[in-house]
Structure 1
Amino acid sequence: MILDYYCTDHEIVCCRVCISNEHRLCQNVLPLELASKDVRKSALLNDVMEDMTHLITTLHALDNNRQSNLQSIEKTKSIITKQIRAVKTKFLKQIDDLERELTTSLSSLQRKHEMEINKQKQEISQVLVNVKENKNEMDFLRDNGSKNQLFIFLRQQVTNIHCAETKIQQIVSDSQEFDITFDEKKDVKLESLGSLLEIVQPCQVQYKQRKCQQAQINAEPKKRIVGFERDTVLKLNTDVIEGLFSVSVTDNNKLLITNAASSDPKLYVYRDCKDYETEIRFSSAPFCVAVIPGTDRAVITIPSEGSIQFINTTTMTKSVKVNMGFRCIGITAGRDRIYVGGKGGTIKALDTNGKILKTIRQISKDIYIMVYNDLQDHLIVRCVGKLLCVKLDGTLVYSKDVSGTGGVTLDRQKNIYVVGFYTSIIQRMSSDGENCEEMLNKDNDIDDPYGMCFNNDFTKLFVINNDGKSVCVYKCK
């Protein structure tokens, strides 16, 4: 059948049969001639043309990106090939150096033993000459001398022979048979010149539907926090607490608090951010905890084991443990990446299953606290005396002097809240690091604070206070 009708209710072109069978109740069925009137001037034509142009532009960009990636891999292959040859040359030079060292040692041993043996040969020659001279003189006296002369000479030779025997015994006792052998190392083998690290990153070309981009509406402005009001102190399910380190809130509104004291290595869990629910014990002290947004999982760092461990935030049970290969302390997470920092300023990027994707080494100091700014794709990193803003490729955006080490968190507008451990002050800094103001201090009972975080609707701020012995709650105004 000919398609000669358009149902605006279902936005579909149809035929007469379809109208009678499937669109009898539709109120807006138009003849195709009427529906297509002025189509060349319609917004539909413009939208479809712009959508196609957007698709073509994105596909060209993707194709260029793939071609650029191919060229990059080819260029990288050439560079790595040269690096491998350089490593090979380095190994060959080391082998030559070892050969020269062994040859020098061989010559030195040879000279040492030659000198000792030649010295003994001289002593032997001297004794031999004396004995031969005495023997020749005795032969002469035996054939030509008188009995008296021969007798006197024989008596002299008894003494000479005794001296010669003593000398020979000394030479024999001092003599050693020297030999030099080469103990070839049986297990000498070169297994590898290095290893290849495959780095996987998301494609830089992103596709967003054009209509979705156009459909943005002016959302209601997010309320800015103007101050804080002291609320309460969290009632902890223990009498003795020391070493509280990090705090975070799950998507299902559970408060997670790590206890980094080696005597009590636990993660405390409070439902609705106020009532004790349970606790999880670890083999070693857990330091920092981060919730993976949009999931029922969190992840903690265990510095003494150089590992991280996943937590199911629904069942509150331990899950997979991943060895990071270095002492890791700070951790933060986005929807598709986990970032772990620690000893020597090392940062490693992982996927949300714990697979290590790449290593960033651009920070010189040890990293204690990290937070991810998903709006700007920046990492806010806390070292001793420093707050750093770092891009995901390790490039430093800015650096600020701060007091000691301590917690860092972000509000709705991505302003940065920074703990001053020694000053007992919490400051708010703009995301660009330019503006800074004091928000809480000792007048608000802040005393040696450390980890902190907001709840999910940014109505409360939780602060580990009193040098890790309590958790104070502040209302946001």
Structure 2
Amino acid sequence: MLINSMKEELNCHVNEFQEFLSSQKTAPLLYKESDLLSVMKSFGSVEIKETPFDIKYKPFKAQKAQFLQQQRKLPTKFKLDTKFKVPGANVIGIGVTKDNRLFLCDRTGSKLFVMSDKGKQLAATRMDGRPWGIAMDEDKHTAWVTLPNTPCVQTVDIVKMEKGRLIKVPGVCYGIALIDDEIAVGGYGKIYIISKTGDLKNTINVEREDVHSISVGQKHQLHYAQGNIAESELKCVRLDDGKDIFISTQCTNHVIEVKADRLGNVYILEYKASNFKLFCSEDKSLKTMLTTEDGLKGRYGLAFNTDFCKLFISIQTNSANSEILVYKCN
């Protein structure tokens, strides 16, 4: 019906177009020879001069919304906001998602708990061993969990809460961190660099004690904690040559957990003295930020959320329960 009603209008346009075509004229250019051609021997010469195009190419990926690096300043004040128990658990490693869900590694019941930052249990899955460390790859919906007694690294789908495959590690494994497409796993006196398919890429030798925690710092330097060493200077290891770098002249004691931030600072947890300390990269100082007076009275794990506005520390209150302390950071 629409086409039928428009038929007359279309016919008018056709007639108008025909009239328009009939009124058009062409203007060809004709060359008319001049007498000057008989006396001129050359019109000149042609030279080629290369100049760069003033064209700026913007890659497709750069046209997408870029990730906003959220940490803007160094957290130096920590105030206890809340705490909650994880009954029947011995929580070691802590993983935190962007929406502040906590993934807690329970050594007692071999479970991976998922809880809110207020203490509500959201999910739980039993691992194929007793978990220790955890590394989050939220973009791929995957958590990587170490099982020291197996010894293996096991993947977990953090959306479906389904266990994945087991990746065999050359030796006992505790701390874990992700480095691009590879995994750093802490063993006894060694840090293993393996692919996500399980291929051993490199072995870095450190002091002959268990590497309980690993964190990736600036320039892919690996900060690591060995809780069985009573006194040691704070250090990290370079990936390219495997050499230790001492970053502080002050000694630490029984460091069970270490976390490096995007600004080059390092946070450590001394479990026997129950101290939480900060190494500030700007003035190379090592400061005690939290002690037993702030609620610390044990061990093991610590983690920050994405924007470093919350700090989570797990402590063992007794043989049957763990407690998660939640601090606000300023």
TM-score, structure 1 normalization: 0.51
Q: Which runs of 5+ in 1 are unaligned?
A: 1-39, 52-207
Equivalent-residue separation in structure 2 for 1:288 and 1:220 (angstroms): 25
Q: Deviations over 1:317-370 (max 9, x none)?
A: 110101112111111113322100111x12111223433322222443321111
* Aligned with 1:406 (options 247, 256, 259): 256
- Indicate how the Cα distance of structure 1 residues 221 and 232 shifts in structure 2: closer, same or farther if over 3 A, else same: closer
Tell me which protein shows more helix as a share of its residues.
Answer: 1
User: Is the 8 Å Cα contact of residues 179 and 220 (structure 2) preserved in structure 1?
Assistant: no
- Indicate how the Cα distance of structure 1 residues 256 and 392 shifts in structure 2: closer, same or farther if over 3 A, else same: same
Higher relative contact order (CA 8 A, sep 6+): 2
- Is residue 78 of structure 2 the alignment partner of residue 228 of structure 1? yes
- Indicate how the Cα distance of structure 1 residues 354 and 221 shifts in structure 2: closer, same or farther if over 3 A, else same: closer
Equivalent-residue separation in structure 2 for 1:293 and 1:350 (angstroms): 19
Match of residue 396 from structure 1: 244
- Indicate how the Cα distance of structure 1 residues 432 and 390 shifts in structure 2: closer, same or farther if over 3 A, else same: farther
- Is residue 316 of structure 2 the alignment partner of residue 473 of structure 1? no
CA apart distance, 1:252 = 5.2
Equivalent-residue separation in structure 2 for 1:46 and 1:255 (angstroms): 51
CA apart distance, 1:463 = 0.3
User: Is the 8 Å Cα contact of residues 247 and 284 (structure 2) preserved in structure 1?
Assistant: no
CA apart distance, 1:459 = 1.2
CA apart distance, 1:430 = 2.6
- Indicate how the Cα distance of structure 1 residues 377 and 336 shifts in structure 2: closer, same or farther if over 3 A, else same: same
Q: Deviations over 1:163-187 (max 9, x none)?
A: xxxxxxxxxxxxxxxxxxxxxxxxx
Describe the SS at the equivalent of 2:140.
Answer: coil
* Aligned with 1:376 (options 219, 228, 244): 219
Alignment of 1:74-473 (within 5 A): 222-236=72-86, 238=87, 240-241=88-89, 243-251=90-98, 253-261=100-108, 264-271=109-116, 274-292=119-137, 294-343=139-188, 345-373=189-217, 375-383=218-226, 384-385=228-229, 386=232, 387-393=234-240, 394-398=242-246, 401-431=251-281, 434-466=284-316, 469-473=322-326
Equivalent-residue separation in structure 2 for 1:277 and 1:307 (angstroms): 26
CA apart distance, 1:273 = 6.6
User: Is the 8 Å Cα contact of residues 253 and 455 (structure 1) preserved in structure 2?
Assistant: yes
Tell me which protein shows more strand as a share of its residues.
Answer: 2
Q: Deviations over 1:280-300 (max 9, x none)?
A: 112321111111253211111
State percent identity of aligned pairs: 25
Match of residue 199 from structure 1: none
Equivalent-residue separation in structure 2 for 1:354 and 1:368 (angstroms): 20
Describe the SS at the equivalent of 1:470.
Answer: strand
User: Is the 8 Å Cα contact of residues 70 and 307 (structure 2) preserved in structure 1?
Assistant: no
Describe the SS at the equivalent of 2:209.
Answer: coil
User: Is the 8 Å Cα contact of residues 446 and 466 (structure 1) preserved in structure 2?
Assistant: no
Describe the SS at the equivalent of 2:180.
Answer: coil
CA apart distance, 1:443 = 1.9
Equivalent-residue separation in structure 1 for 2:70 and 2:82 (angstroms): 30
* Matched residues, number: 267
**Which amino acid is the alignment partner of residue 301 of structure 1?**
T
CA apart distance, 1:301 = 0.9
User: Is the 8 Å Cα contact of residues 245 and 258 (structure 1) preserved in structure 2?
Assistant: yes
Give the RMSD, CA atoms, in angstroms.
3.1
Match of residue 68 from structure 1: none
Q: Which runs of 5+ in 2 are unaligned?
A: 1-48
User: Is the 8 Å Cα contact of residues 214 and 225 (structure 2) preserved in structure 1?
Assistant: yes
Equivalent-residue separation in structure 1 for 2:118 and 2:144 (angstroms): 18
Describe the SS at the equivalent of 1:300.
Answer: strand
